[in-house]
Amino acid sequence: MTEIARFSLVALDCPQPLQLARFYSDITGWEVRGEPDDDDDWVQLVSPSGATIAFQLAPRHRPPTWPSDDQPQQLHIDFDVDDLDAGEQAVINLGAVKAETQPGGDDFRVFLDPAGHPFCLVLAG
């Protein structure tokens, strides 16, 4: 099949792009691109392989109510970890909140980032 386009990045709406980019930078070790400041309405987090997560200012952002459909999540990001307990403690220390609903059993855990977006830590294996 011939490609129509190439994946460039995923962007998350949020009320504070730089702060959310720094949160995910602390999780991944990826670089916050350029010299962003608190007034930027678009901040990018770039991996060494080129994968990019962008954070876009949305002043009236309303976080999803996962797992409810009242305000659905629309997307989430998975991160592989070797130790779920250590990963959980690390992301909570960065400001994440463990979601009340945990459907993953022993394989993954769901958290909410500081802007309320769900993300998962998945046991690498």
Segment 20-79, tens digit of pLDDT: 999 999 999 999 987 778 788 999 999 999 889 999 998 888 888 878 888 877 778 889
Per domain, the residue ranges of the chain are 6-61, 62-125
> Is the N-terminal amide bond of 67 cis, ω within 30° of 0?
yes
Compute the mean pLDDT over every residue in the chain, rounded to the nearest whole number: 89
C-alpha torsion sign, points 46, 52, 58, 61: negative
Percent of the chain with pLDDT over 90: 57
Q: Which architecture does CATH list for 62-125? A: Roll (3.10)
Give yes or no on whether 6-61 and 62-125 have one common fold: no
C-alpha torsion sign, points 29, 31, 24, 36: positive
- Residue 65: the pLDDT is 83
3-state secondary structure of 52: strand
Fold of 6-61: 3.30.720
Mean pLDDT over residues 102-122, rounded? 90
Q: Name, in order, each residue with C-beta under 8 angstroms of 85's C-beta and a sequence gap of 6 or more.
A: none
Mean pLDDT over residues 90-98, rounded? 96
